[in-house]
Amino acid sequence: MIYVAWVLIIFMIALSILAIELKNLIAAVVAMGAVSLIISVLFLLLQAPDVAMAEASIGAALTMIIYVIGVRQTERREE
Amino acid sequence: MIRKVVYSIFLAIIVLSLVLFFAAFPFGKNKMTVGKYYIDHGVQQTGAANIVTSVVLDYRGFDTLGEVSVLFAAAAGVGVLLHMIGERRERKVKVPPNFVVRVGSRIVFPFILLFGVYIFVHGHLTPGGGFQGGSIIASGFLLLYLAYPNYKLKRGGLAAIEGLAGLTFVTLGLYGLLTPKVSFLYNFLPMGVFNTLVSAGILPIIYVAIGFKVASEFAGIIDDMICDVMCRGGEK
């Protein structure tokens, strides 16, 4: 179980760096949503299912769509 | 030069005080006694099988009322801010949603709704509760907004549901002041049989109210964001 958590944490750090570094902002938003999803799996591994559900539905779905709407109204690519 | 010396002295004082402060805590031991109290007494005192719910709604029920108010203020802020920009126009989409998205969302939507309702109705028995169930229902409405460009929620109905749910929460809390044990959000209903749907007194009622309130607030935010933002200046 602990190895699964390590793999997930390494993925999470890589995706967080991608979310900052990517020039295509829609891709950056998707990377950020994936970070939220991995955090919710980690919460489940830490036996906190209540927090995991809140993180999966709010962090990965609702926050992401608000960012997508924001990106659509401004520039899609970062200079 | 003097400035650097002063800075380093201040930095040393801050670091030293932080180290002394954190050294006072025992490392790797259980510092909290209140958590153990909840685990030992939560089931007998509140009758809820999910201890998280007994903490969120019973021991810390007043904090939850504050949390719901903060969410209401945020939703109201989004609405006010976006309605100040200008008048609403028809929503235009560049690429209409294809057949699979339209039919798939129509099939999946009732199940998302059912899942959200299940989560907040069973909040005192299984993991989950009003906030989680409400946000799942709101994400179901989001799916409808994405699949049908001219789908529109009735904002008057949303506001009515939200107001009624908030009123239910506050009224139940105030009724606790009228009971012999004068305290806000006192659990005045009978406990019922442990681990059944009708148990734990007022906790399921409050969680259903929170579920409706959160769902209508998030659906309102989605409606504001998609309809108001995408309709204005959408010709970019």
Q: Give the pLDDT confidence of A13-66 residue by residue, as tens digits.
A: 999 999 999 888 999 999 999 999 999 999 988 888 888 988 888 888 888 888
Q: Does A14 touch chain B (CB under 8 A)?
A: no
Average pLDDT over residues A63-78: 83
Q: What would the pLDDT profile of B90-121 be if each residue is shown by its tens digit?
A: 677 777 888 998 999 999 999 999 999 999 88
The predicted pLDDT at position B199 comes to: 79
Is a pLDDT exceeding 60 seen at residue B235?
no
Which of B82-86, B194-198, B218-222 holds the top average pLDDT?
Answer: B218-222
- Whether residue A57 and residue B132 make contact (CB cut-off 8 A), yes or no, is yes
B236 within a domain of the structure (yes/no): no
Q: Which residues contact A53 (CB under 8 A, 6 or more apart)?
A: A40, B119, B127, B128, B132, B136
Q: Do the beta carbons of residue B214 and residue B120 sit within 8 Å?
A: no
Q: What are phi and psi of A77, to 5 degrees?
A: -115, 145
Q: Does A54 reach chain B within 8 Å, measured CB to CB? A: yes
Tell which residue, B117, B219, B134, has the closest CA to residue A65: B219
Contacts 24+ apart (CB under 8 A), A64-68: A64/A29, A64/A30, A64/A32, A64/A33, A64/A36, A65/B142, A65/B222, A65/B225, A66/B221, A66/B225, A67/A29, A67/A32, A68/A26, A68/A29
Confidence of residue B230 (pLDDT cuts 50, 70, 90): low
pLDDT at B14: 94
Name the minimum distance, in Å, from the CA of B22 to any CA of chain A. Answer: 25
Tally of CB atoms within 10 A around B210? 28
**Number of structural domains in chain B:** 1
Structure-derived torsion over alpha carbons of residues A58, A59, A65, A67, reported in degrees to the nearest 10: 130
| Among candidate residues B44, B106, B112, B90, the one with its CA nearest the CA of residue B235 | B90
Among B222, B102, B101, A73, which residue's Cα sits nearest to residue A26? A73
B8 domain residue, yes or no: yes
Name B181's Cβ contacts closer than 8 Å, sequence gap at least 6: none
Residues belonging to chain A: 79
Q: What is the pLDDT of residues B12-49, one digit of tens each?
A: 999 999 998 888 877 767 667 788 888 888 787 777 88
Most A-contacting residue of B120, B135, B207 (CB-CB within 10 A), to test interface: B135
What percent of chain B has pLDDT above 70? 92
Q: What pTM was estimated for this model as a whole?
A: 0.81
What single-letter amino acid sits at A9?
A: I
The residues facing B192 across adjacent strands are B199
Residue type, A32: M
Report whether pLDDT(B233) > 90: no
- Quick check: B128 and A57 CB within 8 A? no
Give the residue ranges of DSSP H helices in chain A. Answer: 2-21, 25-45, 49-54, 63-73
Is B236 in Cβ contact with A54 (below 8 Å)?
no
Distance between CA atoms of residues B137 and B217, nearest Å: 11
B11 assigned to some structural domain: yes
Distance separating alpha carbons of residues B235 and B90, to the nearest angstrom:
12
Q: What is the mean pLDDT of residues B153-163?
A: 86
Residue ranges of chain B whose CB lies within 8 Å of a chain A CB = 50, 52, 119, 127-129, 131-132, 135-136, 138-139, 142, 218, 221-222, 225-226, 229-230, 233, 236
CA A35 to chain B, closest CA, distance in angstroms equals 19
B119-137 tens-digit pLDDT: 988 888 888 888 899 999 9
Q: Residue B207: is its pLDDT beyond 80?
A: yes
User: Looking at chain B, which residue has its C-alpha nearest residue A66?
Assistant: B225
The complex scores an ipTM of 0.83
Token pair 């007494």 in the structure block, residue: B41
- What is the pLDDT at residue B56? 85
Residue type, B51: I
Residue range of the domain that includes B132:
2-231
Residue A18 CA to residue B141 CA, distance in Å, equals 30
Residue B189 has pLDDT above 50, yes or no: yes
Residue B125 resides in a domain: yes
Asked if B121 and B136 count as a contact pair (C-beta separation under 8 A), the reply is no
Residue A4: the pLDDT is: 86
Distance from the B209 Cα atom to the nearest Cα atom in chain A, whole angstroms: 17
